[in-house]
Amino acid sequence: MITVLPEAGQGRCSTAGGRQATICFRQSVKMAHHRQKLIIFLLDMLILTGSFLVVALYKPATARYLSDEYLYAFAALVVVWTVSSFYFKKYSFKKKHKVDRLVKVVLLSNFVSLGVILVIFTLLWISGYSRLMLFGTITLATLLELFAGNLYGSLIRTTTRNGHDLVNPPPRAWEIAEARNCEDYSDFTLNTEKVMLAVEEECGPGIHNFMAGHIDGGCDRTLVVSTGSRFNIEMQPDGFYKAVVNMKRVNDIRLINKFFESVSRKLPPDGIFIGCAETTVQRKKRILKKYPPVLNRVMYLLDYILKRVFPKFILTRKLYYLITRGSNRVLSRAELLGRLYSCGFELKGDQFVNGLYCFSATKSGEPVYDLSPTYGPFVKLRRVGKDGKPIRVYKFRTMHPYAEYLQDFLFETNNLDNGGKYKNDFRVTTLGRIMRALWIDELPMFINFLKGEVKLVGVRPLSRQYFSLYDEELQERRVRYRPGLVPPFYYDMPQTLREIQDSECRYLDEYDRSPLLTDTRYLFGAMYNIIFKKARSC
């Protein structure tokens, strides 16, 4: 064992010795804790002062509310606020503390501060003080405290030491060596009952039953872990395990696709990968149920801004990952499945159990290794262009991230509805449906028009998967033309895939005879259907 002692000249802790080292360690921890409380206290005072100024600026006669009378009253509020905060230990944050504790302490402390101030004003017969200034300052400061406290709590709960996850340590060396020394793996067995018991103790009987139903009862090569570290997966032997079960929520994995790719590399063809996550729907229900009315909506709004809006924009994405370290991220079912399919898996079964979405997937191919996935609000979708060359069509996002990888899955499970759309397309977001109804999502395609990749009227630029559903003869024909912004679909309004293909064939026949006249007639006909017959983007 190697012990590293501090260099001489660094204070009283420079002397070696077990007892003194322990005392020095305790002193350093205590000093760090005091520094933490001081920083949080100063930030809280900044929040309280800022709230007072914001409310004062909101009032019509701002100068009056910054007079000596109000400043003295604010000074009294600061004193009462500070005493109450330290009494209820508002500034003591630890990793083990949950959000419930933060909300409870902040609300209790601030409510007591408000009560004490009201009592002081009553005893001193202070009646001219604006109630909006008092209640507005405390209310705004409380909301900002809850938001900042939630951010800080997420940060300290996701820190690691020396690059290793303290909750999920790397696998023991003798376990890895035992597995790798088995030449034909015939003497390596694993008791299935013990595996199931471990899962039941970790996550409950519901997930245990789901796992038991998706793993072959005779399979004795199952790796069961609860980790978000790729290291724990990469250190396993290649092709040894037939199934990998990870009981850690996908929401808490920092690099989800990299983790899935590591699992894919370790599994043989048709290997099974089982995991769990919390979807957006489950997350909303949990937050609304967790807090009392009104406050639950405020907390959900803050969670929505931090966890769903910040990661989508370049300017706020780095701030989001700096604060959260990728922990407790928001995942929709569509994004989760899209990530699985992009990493070479196919869904075998899924189920909602105990507030979690459990999935079982089989390895069906190799990962795509997409270096530029569509994740932000502005996307570039791969489409088939003229001469069969791929083009990137610009659009505003209307689907969940990674939803483009689910087209085969959606066609197999949902098939096509009237108009050539997928039935019950869960990939489309609520905001996306509104944008499609108003044609907002199509506006960026004018960039492709200016680049010369599409023309005003023409066959729709299709994805490879949808393009493969067409007859071969029409596939060969339609790639000889540039696709268009306004497809013949909105002129004929076909209902089935067969009718869509017939509509495009009629357009191409007429376009070959009279290009300008055909495009003009189709453009005005499509505009009429869009305006008066409510044809919408699909």
Q: Round to whole Å and give the CA distance between 287 and 100.
A: 11
Q: Report, at the CATH architecture level, how domain 190-279+331-363 is classified.
A: 3-Layer(aba) Sandwich (3.40)
Contact of 471 with 391, CB cutoff 8 Å: no
φ, ψ of residue 225 in degrees (nearest 5): -135, 165
SS3 label, residue 272: strand
Q: Round to whole Å and give the CA distance between 242 and 270.
A: 8
Cα-Cα-Cα-Cα dihedral sign, residues 29, 34, 37, 43: negative
379: DSSP letter: E
List, by residue range, all CATH 3.40.50.150 domains of the chain: 190-279+331-363
Written as one string, the DSSP assignment of 11-56 is -GGGS--HHHHHHHHHHHHHHHHHHHHHHHHHHHHHHHHHHHHHHH
Q: How many CB atoms lie within 10 A of CB 418?
A: 11
φ, ψ of residue 496 in degrees (nearest 5): -115, 170
Residue-wise pLDDT tens for the chain (538 aa)? Answer: 222 333 333 344 433 444 454 455 456 656 766 777 788 888 888 888 888 888 877 766 555 556 666 677 788 888 888 888 887 788 876 655 566 677 878 888 888 888 888 877 676 655 556 667 778 888 888 888 888 877 766 665 554 444 444 444 444 444 444 544 544 444 445 555 666 666 677 666 677 778 777 776 545 678 888 888 888 898 888 888 888 989 889 998 988 999 999 999 999 999 999 999 999 999 999 989 888 888 888 888 888 887 888 777 777 777 777 767 777 888 999 999 999 999 999 999 999 988 889 999 999 988 887 766 666 778 888 899 999 899 999 988 888 888 888 888 887 777 665 555 666 778 888 888 888 878 888 888 999 999 999 999 999 999 888 898 899 999 999 999 999 999 998 888 888 889 999 999 999 999 999 999 999 999 999 898 888 876 665 5
Q: Round to whole Å and give the CA distance between 87 and 78.
A: 14
Nearest to 470 by CA among 497, 491, 506: 497
Mode of pairing for the β-strands spanning 356-363 and 378-384: unpaired
Contact of 426 with 333, CB cutoff 8 Å: yes
Contact of 413 with 421, CB cutoff 8 Å: no
Q: Based on C-alpha coordinates, what's the Rg of the chain?
A: 30
